C-alpha cells in the first residue's frame, strides 16, 4: 500500500458479533502499524493496551471509553481485519463502537 489513511478503508460493518473492516488495497504484515493508526484515529476514545504478534496474525487489545475491552485482529493471509469484544459487556457495545468510529470517517 502506498498511502494508508481513512480513505484506504473500503467498509466498516457489523457482522454477527464482530466489526469487520475492509481495506481497498492488499496490505502486508509490515503495514499493520499504519492500519492500526488509521483505526485508532477514528475515535478519540480508543486506547491501545497490548499488542500480540504472531506469525501471520496480530491482535491488539484496545479499550474504548476507558470501560469496554476489545481485540482488533489483523490476519495477513486472509487479508482480514475485525474487532470483537473481550467480554459480554463489551460485545454488547459493539454497535455503539461502530457508530463512534463511523462518525469521523471521510466518505
Confidence of residue 5 (pLDDT cuts 50, 70, 90): confident
Give tens-digit pLDDT for 43-62: 999 999 999 998 889 999 99
Give tens-digit pLDDT for 8-25: 999 999 999 999 999 999
Confidence of residue 107 (pLDDT cuts 50, 70, 90): very low
Give residue 56's pLDDT: 85
Among candidate residues 103, 98, 68, the one with its CA nearest the CA of residue 85: 68
Burial class (CB in 10 A: 0-12, 13-18, 19+), 67: exposed
Amino acid at each position: 500500500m502506498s498511502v494508508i489513511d481513512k480513505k484506504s478503508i473500503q467498509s466498516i460493518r457489523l457482522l454477527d458479533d464482530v466489526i469487520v473492516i475492509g481495506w481497498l488495497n492488499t496490505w502486508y504484515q509490515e503495514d499493520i502499524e499504519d492500519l492500526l493508526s488509521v483505526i485508532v484515529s477514528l475515535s478519540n476514545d480508543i486506547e491501545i493496551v497490548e499488542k500480540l504478534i504472531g506469525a501471520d496474525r496480530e491482535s491488539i487489545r484496545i479499550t474504548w471509553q476507558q470501560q469496554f475491552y476489545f481485540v482488533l485482529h489483523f490476519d495477513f493471509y486472509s487479508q482480514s481485519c475485525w474487532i470483537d469484544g473481550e467480554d459480554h459487556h463489551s460485545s454488547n457495545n459493539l454497535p455503539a463502537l461502530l457508530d463512534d468510529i463511523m462518525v469521523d470517517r471521510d466518505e
